[in-house]
Structure 1
Amino acid sequence: MKRSLKSKNRKKRILVDIYYLHVAQTGIRTYTEALIESVQSAVDPQFEYIISPSYASIKSSTFFKGKTPKWKNLLYQLLYFLRKAVVLPILTHWHRCDLVFSPDILSPLWARGVKISVIHDAAFWENPDHYNPRWRRYFLSLLDLSLRRNAQVVTITEYSKKQLQKHLNIPRLPVHVVYPATNLVAKSTFKSERPLQSPYFLHVGVMEKRKNLVTLVRAYEHFLKETGKTDVKLVLVGQRGPRKELDDYDNVIHEIDRLRLRDQVILPGFVSREVLESYYQHAFVYIFPSLNEGFGMPILEAFSYKIPVIISNQGALREVGGEAVLYPKDNSAKAFAKEMEKLVKGKEVRNSLVERGEKRLKSFSGTQFLDKLEKVFSAETW
């Protein structure tokens, strides 16, 4: 009787699989780390969270991080899929879990309790050329199998939900929208030394084809022609894309050379966090022209530094930015240039966007994120 009462009163157990942090670089890494921080800082979480593997051990490990040889990449893939097929299911029984939560898209093939996958966007279906075709087919077949039984999906925008429901094609599969935590707040007014003496448009991110940076370079050239403001530079912070089929660096450089903009476009490459903060603090405008995003974390990052933002005319980015951003009627270079001109000519427009951005940022707090996520857990565990 005592044992039964104890079992009844215990908190529901959530196993959070963070193994992908060994190699994650961008969106999934930010999402997972924000989740861990939200759980660790929660005063009285509704659930008992089991983080696996240990977050401390992953942070201290460098074996799979950075530029790795092919054999390490293959080893990681083998261990990753072995974990999803065997190790993680066993762990759910070992810990007597009520739910297993996978921020890295793929749920275990079987598990004790409900399985919830976080699928950030529909890139696997909408950009198949960005992935090795054999690997993509294998991954999607495992994803489909993992979602067929006792499974749920969490995604990060209403836009992504619509796209996923179209591509997953699994009737009655619940798909929940929970805006992710950014744990970003408006930065202090203290500013570091300027990285450039000139005002500049800023973009931060790896140079992948979907980021649409060639169009941004062309838009900047149109801006210079229309305004004659050659003192305003364009800064593209970031390194090459992680894979050859994704990388757009050579095309960006070619366009800069073709338009004779070598002196106007600054390419710092990968920079330290301290240097990156300096670029954000002194930016004139942040521009995010990406054509394929499930969310758009750089928008909120720019809001935190009180920078006006221009985005592409893309569903997820418009949803995240709300009324605090500008975007072109279409995604042509000339249309982007017109929005750039607005912010150079209109101080009132700039100030209004900054004020709206600060308010919009509050919708993505860690507290709100965990509260909404736990509502999903509460509805689906038992």
Structure 2
Amino acid sequence: MISKGYIDDTKYSFKMLAPRNIKMTPEFKNIPLKVVGHLKGIFWEQLELPFFSRDGLLINFCNSAPLVKTNSIVTIHDASVYGVSSAYSKKFQLWYKFLLPILGRRVKKVITDSSFSKNEIVHYCAIPSNKIDVVYLGRDHICNIKPDNKILDKYKLGKKTFLLAVSSMNPNKNFHSIAKAIKLLKHENYKFVVAGESNSTIFNTYEEAFAADVIKLGFVTDCELKALYENASCFIYPSFYEGFGLPPVEAMACGCPVIVSDRASLPEVCGDAALYCNPYDVNDIALKMKQLLDDQVLQESLRKQGLKRAETYNWESCAKKVFSHITEVCSGENCHCS
């Protein structure tokens, strides 16, 4: 939330509001955390948050915000609840399909992660296009992490001897096709590593069918993830639907060649720095995996192009653009930031 104060010669100050059941306390140098209210979840967000943010502009970064709080900016990362609704539980679908169209029309500004997402939000939610702005995400976080190479020793993974797939087990991420492609590939010179865990409260039940020799890591820490990115021969991400696609950008930032889906926002985000596959064609996924694994020259070319592409995504640029929208909204006639 923003109220009057001083930051970068502009008259604003920031504070973070959180419910009492907060699981992790973030540490920021310049933004104080204030725990407020007695409720939790949607009830805290919709009933108590508007009251405690009544004197300022409320900024929401996670697809949701109080419907009664019109003096706010909300980030809607994508329209996947419409585009791939079968990937989500019925309860989750109903709430967000009710929330997003109303929310988008009531708030001062909507921010999203890609031009693809902007077009999808306009299409599904009927939010005016001129109310939505694209702000790309950053990759700096992965660059600033120290890799934990112990995970390589634990699973006997040598440098450039394995293919990596990383994501939640949301069916939209298409892990099932990766499993089938691995079986078709039968590549004896490489191991196959899969990291990620499911969330049954959001995603529909999904059982992966990987071969017994595929190494399934489940949850990994950020430090372990960076070690995997840095040492994998390639990263595979044949998702059906993405609003941005942060994992491929993280992989590119770590010098890992990537294979991604040719759908949704991924061509926009990855540009010419990725090898593209048809996510609905298991044979094509397997073919692209073989093509990349067998071609060292292609691997090195994509590694260099990926590093260059990833440099265009940084959190400072993201923050500056978000802040420009804050000042724009607060300078409006009907906005009250204090």
Tell me the TM-score normalized by structure 2: 0.81
Shift of 1:280: 2.6
Partner residue, 1:222? 184
| Letter in structure 1 aligned against 2:117 | S
What is the DSSP-based 3-state SS (H/G/I as helix, E as strand, rest coil) of the residue aligned with 1:307? Answer: coil
- State the match for 1:374 in structure 2: 323
Q: Which residue of 2 aligns with 1:60?
A: none
Distance 1:291 1:373, change over 3 A: same
In 2: Cα distance, 1:291 partner to 1:21 partner: 34
Corresponding residue for residue 169 of structure 2: 207
Higher helix share: 1
| Correspondence list, 1:319-338, <5 A | 319-329=268-278, 331-338=280-287
Whole-angstrom distance in 2 between the partners of 1:218 and 1:335: 11
Mapped to 2, the partners of 1:342 and 1:301 lie a distance apart of 22
Alpha-carbon shift at residue 157 of structure 1 (Å): 0.7
Shift of 1:286: 0.7
Structure 2 equivalent of residue 64 of structure 1: none
Letter in 2 for 1:196: K
In structure 1, the residue matched to 2:195 is 237
State how far apart, in whole Å, the 1-side matches of 2:67 and 2:82 are.
21
Q: Residue 186 of structure 1 contacts residue 358 of structure 1 at CA under 8 Å; is this kept in 2?
A: no
Q: Is the 8 A contact 1:159 1:315 kept in 2?
A: yes
1:100, CA displacement in angstroms?
1.1
C-alpha separation between the residues in 1 aligned to 2:166 and 2:156?
Answer: 16
Other structure's SS at 1:373 match:
helix
Structure 1's 357 and 88: CA in aligned 2 closer, same or farther, altered over 3 A? same
Mark the CA change 1:306 to 1:145 in structure 2 (over 3 Å): closer, same or farther: same
Secondary structure in structure 1 of the residue aligned to 2:235: strand
Q: Which amino acid aligns with 1:84?
A: E
Is structure 2 residue 10 aligned with structure 1 residue 80?
no
In 1, are the aligned partners of 2:262 and 2:276 still within 8 Å (CA)?
A: yes
Change (3 A) 1:245 1:366: closer
The unaligned stretches of length 5 or more in structure 2 are 1-5, 332-338
- Relative to structure 1, is the Cα distance of residues 162 and 18 closer, same or farther in structure 2, using a 3 angstrom cutoff? farther
Question: Would you say 1:128 and 2:85 are equivalent positions?
Answer: yes
Structure 1: how far apart are the matches of 2:21 and 2:97? 20
Shift of 1:244: 8.0
2:236 equivalent among 287, 309, 315: 287
Note the residue ranges of structure 1 that are not aligned, 5 or more in a row. Answer: 1-5, 25-32, 42-48, 55-75
- State the Cα distance separating 1:288 from its structure 2 match: 0.7
Task: Tell me which residue corresponds to 1:11.
Answer: 11
* 1:362 CA drift (Å): 1.6
Deviation at 1:330, TM superposition (A): 5.8
The CA RMSD over aligned residues, in Å, is 3.4
Residues 379 and 279 of structure 1: CA distance in aligned 2, closer, same or farther (over 3 Å): same
Residue 181 (str. 1) matches residue 141 (str. 2): no
Is the radius of gyration larger for structure 1 or structure 2?
1
Matched, 1:159 2:116: yes
Structure-2 change in CA distance of 1:22 and 1:160 (3 Å): farther
Determine which of 179, 196, 209 is the counterpart of 2:156: 196
Provide the rounded CA distance (Å) in 1 between the counterparts of 2:227 and 2:189: 19
Kindly state the Cα deviation for residue 279 of structure 1 after the two structures are TM-superposed: 2.6
Q: Are the aligned partners of 1:107 and 1:147 in contact in 2 as well (CA < 8 Å)?
A: no
Correspondence 1:298-377 to 2 at 5 A: 298-329=247-278, 331-377=280-326
* Farther off after superposition, 370-379 or 165-174: 165-174
Does structure 2 retain, via aligned residues, the 8 Å contact 1:192–1:281? no
Q: Shift in Å at residue 168 of structure 1? A: 0.7
The 2-side partners of 1:334 and 1:211 are apart by 17
Matching residue's letter, 2:317: Q
Distance 1:362 1:81, change over 3 A: same
- Residues 273 and 302 of structure 2 are in contact (CA less than 8 Å); yes or no, is this contact kept in structure 1? yes
The residue number in structure 1 matching 2:3 is none
Tell me, yes or no, if structure 1 residue 91 matches structure 2 residue 52.
yes
Hey, which bits of structure 1, 4+ residues long, moved more than 6 A? 187-191
Answer whether contact 1:17 1:101 (CA < 8 A) is retained: no
Tell me the residue number matched to 1:29: none
Change (3 A) 1:300 1:330: closer
CA contact (8 A) 1:18 1:52 kept: yes
User: 1:130, CA displacement in angstroms?
Assistant: 3.6
Q: 1:142 offset after TM fit, Å?
A: 3.7
Q: Does the 8 A contact of 1:120 with 1:155 survive in 2?
A: yes
Give CA deviations for 1:27-70 in whole Å, capped at 9, x if unaligned: xxxxxx8xx86xx58xxxxxxx665549xxxxxxxxxxxxxxxx
1:10 deviates by 6.3
